[in-house]
Chains A and B, each alone.
Chain A
């Protein structure tokens, strides 16, 4: 039948010639190809010393941001935890006391903020959900560790370093 798209190609299956059935010419060709590969540039990146360049929109470990005065932006609204498809984020909110105005931007803040890095799928939905621009996935890779409990990152690991004045 006539092909409608005209893209169909009938491939003829010829019986193999003697040279093809001997395999040896093909093996010699293959050996030549692999031999040439010996002198090509190596693709290896020597990881701990050298790192692969990561793209602009790379999503790494989370960091909780501070505003221009060094106050924590997070108000513990819980939208990130709600948005998280992997249920990796938990938090406990607390009220800001008098004399803590220099630490927290608004009256409510996250006393505990934990991300379980083994649950996290690094999708970035928390970043999108956050109304206060408080969480960003701009960190490095997640490094290996020995215990599961060490993969639950608290505020000590997540919050940005305070501003230097």
Chain B
């Protein structure tokens, strides 16, 4: 392995890491702003122009707060919980293709950290690891509310992972590939986006993504009016910040995954008819990918401030009795559609 390759990947990792953190930090501001706008308020606007420096102020506050570790807690796991949540949230971005390749002279730089041929599987693994952070943190707090929140998070994530997996299987039947790079490349232009082939699958996927990110209407693990603060009841300072940050990074990554799987990733309409050089197309593609990601993040927040929280039995009903049968039906329908297409529309 050459040094240049290592440096290239390392630089890409650093850039994506910084972008993830930056997007997560500014998502907190966006959340407060959007909540305010939807409710007829203006939101934070004192720190900097339109509240530009509010995330910095919040972050500084988090760092300077007293770190309280309950004496009855398991101290190692108490610290490991938020760290694990942050770690698993961040490593999901490794397989997402952020754009096509950039060419400098005769070096070609792929805008993807790792093109592994089981990209979706990797994402799934990371997502299901994500619940361990919450689980460990909630258990180590030695608080019944934390434990309740953690148990809810675990059962909710496990339930919705099944439906999510089923929606992905239908998608894989269409794309014939598990590699995210391959899937993104297949959807060039506008008409090839997977959402047109898999509308039901996308619906199931987005609902499950809401549940996996613990966002409203599925934010039962931290439902304030029943569980004080849910799994992070006992946390303070930057360890609480770690949990909250992990939630926003998860939102960013799942938006990126949704954009890549269903909305064409970096592809945009008429990208091959513009006659621009490849590097320019790539950069515009990156911008388009981020536009799609920001739209999904906005959608997450928009739904949060519109739909009230589900009751626990409703959540489980929806997951097990509605989404899983729908996911299976979607697989069957997709299979029939593929056979019909192959025999009659060749």
For residue B15, CB closer than 8 A to chain A, the reply is: no
| Complex contact A31–B306 (CB within 8 A) | yes
**Interface flags, B301-328, vs A, CB<8A=1, else 0:** 0110111000000000000000000000
Do residues B306 and A34 form an inter-chain contact, with CB atoms below 8 A?
Answer: yes
**B42 contacts A31, C-beta separation under 8 Å:** no
Task: Indicate whether A43 sits within 8 Å of B38 (C-beta atoms), given known contacts A27-B307, A35-B302.
Answer: no
Q: Which of A29-44 contact B (CB under 8 A)?
A: 30-31, 33-35, 37-38, 40-44
- Count how many pairs of residues, one from A and one from B, have CB atoms less than 8 Å apart in the complex: 34
Indicate which residue in A27, A41, A43 contacts B306 across the interface (CB closer than 8 Å). A27
The complex places the Cα of A37 from the Cα of B40 at a distance, in Å, of 7
- Interface residue? B41 (CB, 8 A): yes
Q: Is the CB of A38 within 8 A of B37?
A: yes
A27-B307, A30-B306, A30-B307 in contact; A38/B38 too (CB < 8 A)?
A: yes
B39 contacts chain A at the CB level, 8 A cutoff: yes
Residue ID in chain B nearest A44 by CB atoms: B42
Which residues of chain B from 29 to 62 have a CB within 8 Å of any chain A CB?
A: 34, 37-42
B305 partner residues in chain A, CB cutoff 8 A: 34
Indicate if the CB atoms of B38 and A34 lie closer than 8 Å.
Answer: yes
Smallest CB separation, A27 vs chain B (Å): 6
The residue that A37 contacts in the complex, of B39, B203, B303, with Cβ under 8 A, is: B39
Across-interface contacts of B302 in A (CB, < 8 A): 31, 34-35
Beta-carbon contacts of A11-38 to B below 8 Å, as 1s and 0s?
A: 0000000000000100100110111011
Q: Would you call B306 and A42 a contact (CB within 8 A)?
A: no
Q: Are A37 and B38 in contact (CB under 8 A)?
A: yes
Which residues from B are CB-within-8-Å of A37? 37-40
Identify which of residues 290-307 in chain B touch chain A, using a CB-to-CB cut-off of 8 Å.
Answer: 302-303, 305-307
Best-surrounded residue of B37, B40, B303, B306 (most CB of chain A within 10 A): B306
Known contacts A31-B302, A34-B302, A35-B302, A43 near B307 by CB under 8 Å: no
Query: Contact partner of A40 among B34, B40, B303, CB < 8 A?
Result: B40
Interface string of B102-126 (1 = CB under 8 A from A): 0000000000000000000000000
- What residues on A are CB-neighbors of B38 within 8 Å? 34-35, 37-38
- B203 neighbours in A (Cβ, 8 Å): 24
- Contact, CB under 8 Å: A42 / B40: yes
Smallest beta-carbon distance A145→chain B, Å: 22
Instruction: Mark each residue of chain B from 201 to 220: 1 if its CB lies under 8 Å from any CB of chain A, else 0.
Output: 00100000000000000000
Chain B min CB distance to A36 (Å)? 10
Whether A42 pairs with B41 at a CB distance below 8 angstroms is yes
CB distance from A21 to the nearest CB of B (A): 9
Distance in angstroms from A65 CB to nearest chain B CB is: 39
Contacts of B306 in A (CB 8 A): 27, 30-31, 33-34
B40:A43 contact, CB within 8 angstroms: yes
Q: Please name all residues of chain A whose beta carbon is closer than 8 Å to the beta carbon of B307 when the two chains form the complex.
A: 27, 30
Which 9 residue pairs of A and B lie closest in terms of their CB atoms, listed nearest first? A38-B37, A34-B306, A34-B38, A44-B42, A30-B306, A43-B40, A42-B42, A44-B41, A31-B306
List, sorted by A's number, 6 A–B pairs whose CB atoms are closer than 8 Å. A27-B307, A31-B303, A35-B302, A37-B37, A37-B38, A42-B40
